[in-house]
Chain A
Amino acid sequence: MNGGLTTKDAMQRKWIYEEIVDRIPPFRWLPPTFDVVAQLLLVETVGVIAFIYFQMPTEAAIFGSLAILYTVVWSAGCLYVIPWVRRLRDPTNKLERIVLKEYKSRLLLSRKYELIGGIAAFAALIIYMFYIDTEYLQYFLGAGYGNPLLTILILVLAWDIAYRMGLSMVTALFTAWRSISLSSAARKRMGLAYTAYSEVRTLKYLDMINLYWGVSGILLLPLAYGSVLLLLGLAGFLVGMIGLASLSLMAMETVPWFPPDVESILNHERFAYVTVCSNKQPHVTPVIFVYDGKYLYFAISVASAKYRIIKKNRNIAVLVDMRDRQYPMKNRAVLLRGKGMILGEISLKGIFKLFLYGLWLLRVRWLFSKKYPKYMKYYDEQAQELPPAWQNKPFLSRLIVRVEPEKITYWREARPTTLRA
C-alpha cells in the first residue's frame, strides 16, 4: 500500500497543507509558529492590494479579511494537532491498537479521504458563486468583477476555505468513528491489556481541536449572512462539527482507565494501605476505600495524622492487595501513586470544591454504603458511643480524599509490572 515506505516513514507524511507550508519559500525558512503569521500577512497583503486596485466596497475588505482569518485560525490548529497525533504511543490491547492505527493512517496517509471533503465543498461553492447567485460576487467585487486575475484570487480563497471545511468535516467523522470503536474495543480488554490513560487524555485534547475548527467556522457567518443557501450550508457544517465532536468526547468518556486485572482488584478488595510522607518519614495505615472507575476515594478523620500530612504533602501511594496465605498464585497487588485531593473541608476553598464535586461526593458515599454495608451500619448504630473523631459525620469529623493515579504498578506473585497511567 505504501510502496517502499516503512510504516514509520509513512507516518511522517503530511497533510497537503503542511506540505505546502514546508515547500513554498517564505514559509520553508520560518519556524512553524511563524508560518501562520507569515501566511496571514502574505494573503492579507495581496487582498489589500486587490482591494485598492479594483476599488471594491468596504464590506469586501472586512469580509475578505474574515475569510483569510478563518484559514489562518484553522491552520494554527492544524500545526498544533498533527505533531501530537504522530507522538501517540500504542495501546497494549490489540483491538485498540488496530483502531488507533487505522485512525492514524486514514488521517495522515491517504490523500483520497483528505481531498473528498475539500473537493465536494469547493464544487458546491463554485456552483453557487458562478451559476446560482452571480450577484453575490458582483456585490463584493464591484468594478473588478470579471477580471481574470481577481477571479483567480477568489478561486484560491474559495479553495482555501472549502478545503479546510471539507477536511475538518472528514477529520471529525474519522474521530467520532475512532472514539466509538475504541470504546467498544476497550470493553473487550483482557488481563493487563489497555490504552494508557495519558493517551486517552491526549486523544481527548485532540478532539477539542475538531470542536475548535467547528467553532472557528463562525468567523464565516458574516460572509454567508446575505444568502439563505450559504447560511444553510454553514449551519449544517457547524451542527455537524459540534455534533460529531460531542459524540466523540462522550464515547471517549466511557473508555476505562485501567486494564481489567487492575480494575478487578480495585473493585473487589476491601482494604487499602495508604502511605503518606512528612519530613522524609513515611506513614502507612490501612483504610477502607471505593473506586469509581477513575479515582480512588478513602475517608479520613480530621483528627488523623493522615489529614495533617496530606494537607502539607499531596503525594500519596495506595496499595490494594489480594492476599492468601495458602496459595501464592492468589497474591496480587496494585500500587497506585499520585496526588490526593481532600474533599469536604470547611474552609473557603473546601466549600468551593463542594460546589464542583458535591454530587460526586454523594455518589462516593453511596458507593461506600454499597461496598461496606456492615461498616456503615456500625457507624450509624454506635454513633453515640464512638469517640467524636470516629463518628461518620460528613464535613465535621470525616473527610474524603480523592487519589488521582499517575503511576500504576501491578504485582502477580512477586513480579512487578509497571503500567503507565
Chain B
Amino acid sequence: MTLTLPQKTNTKKTSAIPEAARKILRDGFFAYLGTAEPGCVPHVTAMFYIWDEEKNFLYLVTSKESQKVLNIRRNRKVSVTIDVRDPTSPARNEGVMIRGVAFLVEMEVAYEYLMLRYLEKYAEFLGTGYPLGSRIAIRVTPRTISYWKGTEFYKWKKPRK
C-alpha cells in the first residue's frame, strides 16, 4: 500500500504586503501576541494594537510588569496574529500573521500621534483614568507577513537591504 501524503500548501510569495492584509491590520481590533519564555515555552495574550501604515510598524501597549514584556526583554522574536473569524464557513476566515522583532518603547518616547490614535481607537475600554504611566509600548518590526483567506496563502518577506 502506498500512501500519498498531501503536498505542501501552495503559498504564494508576494513582493509587497497584500492590500487585503493591510485592510485587516487597519480594521482589526484585537491582536494576539505570541512570545517565548526561556526553553522555547510559548506564551500568548490578546492585546490592543495600532498599525503604522507608513512605516509598517505594529504598536502594542501593555503594562510594564506583564509576562510578555519580561519575555521580550529576554527574547525579542515575537509573532502577532490578527484575524477575521467566521463561524459559518472556514472559507471566509482570513487573517494575518506577523513574525518579527520587538522593541520596547517607553511611553514618553512613543510617537505621540500614534498614541492619540490608540487612545481614540480603544476609548471605551480604557476609561478616563487610564494610567499611561505604568504602560510600555511594544513596537513590532515585521520580518515576514503571512496572509490567508480560506485556502489561499500569501507570504511577504522583508527585502534585505
Contacts and interface: CB of A to CB of B under 8 A. Distances in A.
Contacts of B29: 323, 325
Given A282-B34, A333-B46, A315 B41 contact: yes
Contact of A323 (B3, B40, B43, B46): B46
Contacts of B79: 275, 281-284
Interface size class of B (residues with CB under 8 A): 35 or more
A388 B40 contact: no
Contact of A315 (B5, B40, B85, B97): B40
B3 A275 contact: no
A23 interface: no
A238 B34 CA distance: 54
Interface string B68-85: 000000010111110101
A277 B78 CA distance: 10
A302 interface: yes
Contacts, number: 137
A303 B87 CA distance: 23
Interface stretch (B7-15, B16-24, B52-60, B109-117): B7-15
A397 interface: yes
Nearest to A328: B125
B138 interface: no
Contact of A283 (B43, B89, B95, B99): B99
Given A277-B36, A335-B44, A396 B5 contact: yes
B30 interface: yes
Contacts of A275: 32, 34, 42-44, 79
A283 B5 CA distance: 24
A281 to B, nearest CB: 5
Nearest to B30: A323
Contacts of B30: 321, 323
Q: Among the interface residues B45, B88, B124, which one has the most CB atoms of the partner chain A within 10 A? A: B45
B151 interface: yes
Q: Among the interface residues B46, B88, B91, B95, which one has the most CB atoms of the partner chain A within 10 A? A: B46
A42 interface: no
Contacts of A342: none
A276 B36 CA distance: 9
A346 B3 CA distance: 10
B44 A315 contact: no
A388 B99 CA distance: 26
B88 A396 contact: no
Interface in A337-385: 337, 346, 372, 374-375, 378-379, 382
Given A286-B95, A321-B46, 17 more contacts: A273-B44, A277-B34, A280-B75, A281-B36, A282-B35, A282-B77, A284-B81, A285-B97, A286-B93, A288-B90, A303-B7, A317-B44, A323-B30, A325-B29, A335-B43, A389-B8, A391-B6
Q: Give the top 8 A-B pairs by smallest Cβ distance, nearest first.
A: A388-B6, A282-B34, A284-B34, A275-B42, A275-B34, A275-B44, A284-B81, A277-B40
22 contacts: A270-B85, A271-B85, A275-B44, A281-B77, A282-B36, A283-B99, A284-B34, A284-B79, A284-B80, A285-B97, A288-B90, A302-B5, A303-B6, A315-B39, A317-B42, A321-B30, A323-B30, A323-B46, A328-B125, A331-B125, A346-B3, A387-B10
